Amino acid sequence: MRFLLLFLAVPLASLAQNHEQFVFDGPAVVIHGGAGGIERKYYTEEQIASYDSSLRVILNAGYAMLEEGHTGMDVVVHCLTLLENNPLFNAGKGAVVNAEGTVELDASVMNGATKKAGAVAGLRHIKNPAKLARDVMDHTPHVLLIGDGAESFAKTRSHEFVENKYFLTPKREGQYQRWKEMKKNGTVGVVLKDAQGDLYAGTSTGGMMGKQYGRVGDVPIIGAGTYADNNGAAVSCTGHGEYFIRENVAFQVNARMQYEGLTLEESASRVIFGVLNEEAGNGGLIAIDANGNVTWTFNSKGMFRGAKGKMKESQKVMIHTDIFGDPTWPEQCGF
Ligand code: ASP
């Protein structure tokens, strides 16, 4: 009841921009490039344009694959790989660094039709963690492999190895020098419905800037940062991972839909604006259900995000991208 009151207390005007929904017909893809203290004043027009065009390139690539009938898992991994290779985002190249100045990467993927999932954590030399997460799902009896063990498994599956410094960009090195003041987060995620009507989710990250060596966040924890179930929704999260682990955010969105009978929209709002706000846990999520309902919901200042699909009402294919939230939205925990 307490969270419900809190949820209801959220001003509707603020919800408008930090909480949008679409309804798609047929296959659709939704991506995020991280949530956090993303405010217009920190970005030049040129930077905004390059984030926007990166999101669009990835949405177009994913949607084209869906239209060609590729399985949703191929599309999730392809989109995550493009996001990981793009230095603008906190995953793969461009990932944040830990307190010791090295990059440790986490990723996971999940198939909502079979509930099969794969995840990796603490990688230091694998160029594309999302591909390895998929291989854990497809080629081991396990769900999560970590660190050296995950990397030695990668050798058996011909993954591309890189030096740890490959992931570092001048921007991240600069941030590392200032990380105590910065408190920045990021992460990338994909949720989609494929041409067969199945739901898929995947998430990939460098974690939190200045994290302790060995720290694992929500992203590779199935149910925390990633979850997909055809009977509920495919969900990918971004934000302060410890809160998302403790609250099992991605699974909780599913559980509220299935056990409380909430819509995707209601469920995502209650988890982000109710449960997380109550704890001052900062972040957001993207989600899609089997009826083509899509939501993005975040309690931070902004979230890099985009969606592409055929709108149910107009039957027109729409691509929509956005970065910032409502500028009057209160910062929940200082990001
Ligand atoms: N959730 C990620 C983590 O805690 C970080 C992020 O989304 O920015 O590792």
- Ligand 1: atom nearest CA of 186 is 8
- For the ranges 24-33, 155-164, 169-178, 278-287, which has the lowest average pLDDT? 169-178
The more confidently predicted of residues 32 and 331 is: 32
Mean pLDDT confidence for 107-134: 98
CA distance 209 to 180: 9
Phi-psi region of 184 (alpha: psi -120 to 50; beta: other; left: phi over 0): beta
The three-state secondary structure class of 322 is strand
Q: What is the pLDDT of residue 179?
A: 55
Q: How far apart are CA 89 and CA 101, in angstroms?
A: 18
What local confidence, expressed as pLDDT, does residue 331 receive? Answer: 53
For residue 178, count other CB atoms closer than 10 A to its CB. Answer: 11
Residue 278, number of CB atoms within 10 A of its CB: 14
Inside any domain, residue 130? yes
Best of 188, 238, 247, 296 for a ligand 1 pocket test (most atoms within 8 Å of beta carbon): 238
Ligand 1 binding pocket includes 332 (Cβ within 6 Å): no
Q: State the Cα–Cα distance between residues 231 and 117, nearest whole angstrom.
A: 16
Q: Ligand 1: does its nearest atom lie under 6 Å from the Cβ of 185?
A: yes
Domain count for the chain, please give it. 1
The pLDDT of 162-191, averaged and rounded, is 76
Q: Which pLDDT score is estimated for 16?
A: 43
Q: Ligand 1, from 32, 89, 123, 208: best to mutate by most atoms within 8 Å of Cβ? A: 208
User: In which band, very low, low, confident or very high, does the pLDDT at 329 lie, cut at 50, 70 and 90?
Assistant: low
pLDDT score at 2? 43
As to burial, measured by CB atoms within 10 angstroms (0-12 exposed, 13-18 middle, 19+ buried), residue 136 is buried
C-alpha 180/C-alpha 186 separation (Å) is 16
* Probe target for ligand 1 pocket from 97, 212, 240, with the most ligand atoms within 8 Å of CB: 240
| Ligand 1 neighbourhood includes 198 CB (under 6 angstroms) | no
Residue 317 lies in a domain: yes
Q: Residues 253-262: pLDDT tens digits?
A: 999 999 999 9
What are the E-state strand segments in the chain? 19-36, 105-111, 117-123, 144-146, 188-193, 199-205, 226-228, 233-239, 283-289, 293-298, 302-311, 317-324
Q: Tell me the pLDDT band of 15, cut-offs 50, 70 and 90.
A: very low
Q: Sort 146 into a burial class: Cβ within 10 Å, 0-12 / 13-18 / 19+.
A: middle
CATH number at residue 161: 3.60.20.30
pTM over 0.75: yes
Looking at the CA of residue 185, tell me the nearest atom of ligand 1: 8
219 in contact with ligand 1, CB cutoff 6 A: yes
**Quick check: 34 pLDDT over 80?**
yes
Verify whether ligand 1 is closer than 6 Å to residue 208 (CB atom).
yes
217 lines ligand 1 (CB under 6 A): yes
Tell me the mean pLDDT in the region 170-190.
69
Atom 9 in ligand 1: residue holding the nearest Cα: 207
> 105: CA distance to ligand 1 center in Å?
10
List the domain range (segments joined by +) for residue 97: 12-324
Residue 148, pLDDT score: 98
Q: Is residue 3 part of a domain?
A: no
> Residue 296: inside a domain, yes or no?
yes
> How many CB atoms within 10 Å of residue 160?
12
DSSP-based three-state secondary structure for 316: coil
Indicate the SS3 state at residue 58.
Answer: helix
> Mean pLDDT over residues 309-315, rounded?
96
The whole-number pLDDT of residue 330 equals 60
Query: For residue 18, how far is its CA from the centre of ligand 1 (angstroms)?
Result: 18
Q: Which of 29-33, 179-183, 199-203 has the lowest mean pLDDT?
A: 179-183
Q: State whether the beta carbon of 218 lies less than 6 angstroms from ligand 1.
A: yes
What single string gives the DSSP state of each residue in 239-286? Answer: E-HHHHHHTTHHHHHHHHHHHH---HHHHHHIIIIIIIHHHT--EEEE
Q: Is 104's C-beta closer than 6 angstroms to any atom of ligand 1?
A: no
pLDDT value at 5 more than 60 = no
In a domain, 6, yes or no: no
The band of 232, judged by pLDDT with boundaries at 50, 70 and 90, is: very high
Mean pLDDT of 192-204: 98
How far is the centre of ligand 1, averaged over its atoms, from the C-alpha of 187 (Å)?
Answer: 6
Q: Between 56 and 300, whose confidence is greater?
A: 56
Ligand 1 centroid to residue 202 C-alpha, Å: 13
pLDDT confidence of residue 178 = 60
Name the band, by pLDDT with cuts 50, 70 and 90, for residue 176: low
Alpha helices in 94-240 (DSSP H): 129-139, 147-156, 170-177, 179-182
Could you give the CA distance from residue 159 to residue 211 in angstroms, rounded to a whole number? Answer: 26
Q: How far apart are CA 165 and CA 328, in angstroms?
A: 39
Q: Does 329 fall in a domain?
A: no
187 labelled catalytic: yes
What's the rounded mean pLDDT across residues 122-147? 98
Point out the catalytic residue in the list 140, 156, 187, 238.
Answer: 187
Residue 5 lies in a domain: no
**φ, ψ (nearest 5 deg) of residue 51:** -60, -50
Position 20 scores a pLDDT of 83
55: in domain: yes
- The per-residue pLDDT for 4 is 42
